[in-house]
A and B are shown apart, each in its own frame.
Chain A
């Protein structure tokens, strides 16, 4: 089946088997490996992508469902000149990354939150990240980084 969609501001038309997951389309066919497979069962959030701005588990999503949609992965977050998104900067500055496996999903979930709610309370950040599991650092630095990123994003506007 043909999937005609926009990924990180580029249009793609790909022929996929109907039972292919969005995760496999993005990683194995389009070779964007920032999307990770953790549990493969919609529990860990390492495979999070944004579809029309909302977070989805790409391991539970059939690739054919992306038809006509706008998808963002971590590769699409930096500017064309390579300068990082404020959330990426904040994760680096705050030391919110250890092994890095959960990081793309964490940042994308955080972006979905901040696009809707630029000044979230700590509890709202925790709720927005509840579908993303980190097994290295704990969540304190991650939450701090989201707050710091939010501040920079607010000042830019």
Chain B
């Protein structure tokens, strides 16, 4: 196996096109184990963590750009990112995992329970990629095709995660449950972003995403449509929970049962909506 540390994206793409079975690697917290387990047998590893333009969190005219090779610790410690993403990143693995693992790696690993995946979907993030055929911008909700499957083509690189200005206002929430409080894999997670129309007390914009309750982290579009424009009474929230439960499709697996996942997803959504309501009244 060959291992390269390119210093530019162009160099990385060139190395990939010259290899027969290349893999891009960032922290490697998932990939190094998948290679040891024989899931992947690349002939070439192209390490993206020395490419300056893939690192760091920057405020731009468009919003905030997070380089794909930014570590989960840096995302967790950010003072400019929305709280749903900070909380999600803070709950990935352990301090050791977060100082090595990256947000781009968490996204490209495409686990249905990844803790930064539902936040970026709720925040309407745009994923910018680069490949020999050029740049693409993919909405986060369209990026995931199935467990461990993304829309990325061979040799395409995820460059940055863009949170647009419109999603930096409003409030956002992240809820997660695992077998224990820390260093755990999500049995269910939920990210919510919303903007309240204050004088009216109605929901003006809302986005919800649920993890571990479908083959991909799922944007709950019906729930959003149901609640948009509504006043947040307890009854409206309860009916929103019912819509949410009708559009997720959890299964029973080693981590949790179907009925437990439904119970928790509904409870998380109800709690998050009530917190959002209290916030807007405060």
For the complex, what is the distance from the CA of A73 to the CA of B91, rounded to whole Å?
Answer: 26
- With a CB–CB cut-off of 8 A, which chain A residues contact B32? 21, 60-62
A130 touches B94 (CB 8 A): yes
**Nearest-Cβ distance from residue A142 to partner chain B, whole angstroms:** 15
A56 touches B94 (CB 8 A): no
B3 touches A48 (CB 8 A): no
- With a CB–CB cut-off of 8 A, which chain A residues contact B3? 1, 18-19, 62, 64
Task: Give the A interface residue count (CB, 8 A).
Answer: 28
Which of B10-18, B95-103, B128-136 lies at the interface?
A: B95-103
Q: Which of B5, B96, B97, B182 has the most CB of A within 10 A?
A: B96
Sample of 11 more A-B contacts, CB < 8 Å, known A19-B35, A54-B73, A56-B96: A19-B1, A42-B33, A45-B96, A51-B99, A57-B29, A60-B29, A64-B3, A64-B5, A64-B47, A130-B182, A131-B97
Q: Which of A51, A65, A132 has the most CB of B within 10 A?
A: A65
A127 CB-CB contact with B under 8 Å: yes
- With a CB–CB cut-off of 8 A, which chain B residues contact A130? 94-95, 182-183
- Pick the contact of B182: A42, A51, A65, A126 (CB < 8 A): A126
B75 CB-CB contact with A under 8 Å: no
B49 CB-CB contact with A under 8 Å: yes
Q: Which of A56, A57, A61 has the most CB of B within 10 A?
A: A57
Please, what's the 1-or-0 string for A32-48, where 1 marks a CB less than 8 Å from any CB in chain B? 00000000011101001
For the complex, what is the distance from the CA of A61 to the CA of B29, rounded to whole Å?
Answer: 7
- With a CB–CB cut-off of 8 A, which chain A residues contact B27? 60
Q: List 20 A-B contacts (CB under 8 A).
A: A18-B2, A18-B3, A19-B35, A42-B33, A42-B97, A45-B96, A55-B96, A56-B96, A60-B28, A60-B33, A64-B3, A64-B5, A65-B28, A112-B95, A127-B95, A128-B95, A130-B95, A130-B182, A130-B183, A131-B94
- Pick the contact of A56: B1, B2, B5, B100 (CB < 8 A): B100
A109 CB-CB contact with B under 8 Å: yes
- With a CB–CB cut-off of 8 A, which chain A residues contact B45? 18, 62
- With a CB–CB cut-off of 8 A, which chain A residues contact B97? 42, 57, 60, 131
A131 touches B100 (CB 8 A): no
B170 CB-CB contact with A under 8 Å: no
Q: Which residue of B lies closest to A133 (CB)?
A: B183
Q: Which of A1-54 contact B (CB under 8 A)?
A: 1, 18-19, 21, 41-43, 45, 48, 51, 54
B183 touches A57 (CB 8 A): no
Q: Which of B29, B49, B95 has the most CB of A within 10 A?
A: B95
Q: Which of A60-78 contact B (CB under 8 A)?
A: 60-62, 64-65, 67
B94 touches A45 (CB 8 A): yes
- With a CB–CB cut-off of 8 A, which chain B residues contact A48? 96
**Nearest-Cβ distance from residue B73 to partner chain A, whole angstroms:** 7
- With a CB–CB cut-off of 8 A, which chain B residues contact A57? 29, 94, 96-97, 100
For the complex, what is the distance from the CA of A48 to the CA of B99, rounded to whole Å?
Answer: 12
For the complex, what is the distance from the CA of A76 to the CA of B5, rounded to whole Å?
Answer: 28
Q: Which of B81-115 contact A (CB under 8 A)?
A: 93-97, 99-100
Q: Which of B25, B29, B35, B99 has the most CB of A within 10 A?
A: B99
**Nearest-Cβ distance from residue B237 to partner chain A, whole angstroms:** 30
Q: Which of B50-96 contact A (CB under 8 A)?
A: 73, 93-96
Q: Which of B30-56 contact A (CB under 8 A)?
A: 32-33, 35, 45, 47, 49
A18-B1, A42-B33, A54-B73 as given contacts; A109 in contact with B182, CB under 8 Å: no
- With a CB–CB cut-off of 8 A, which chain A residues contact B47? 64-65
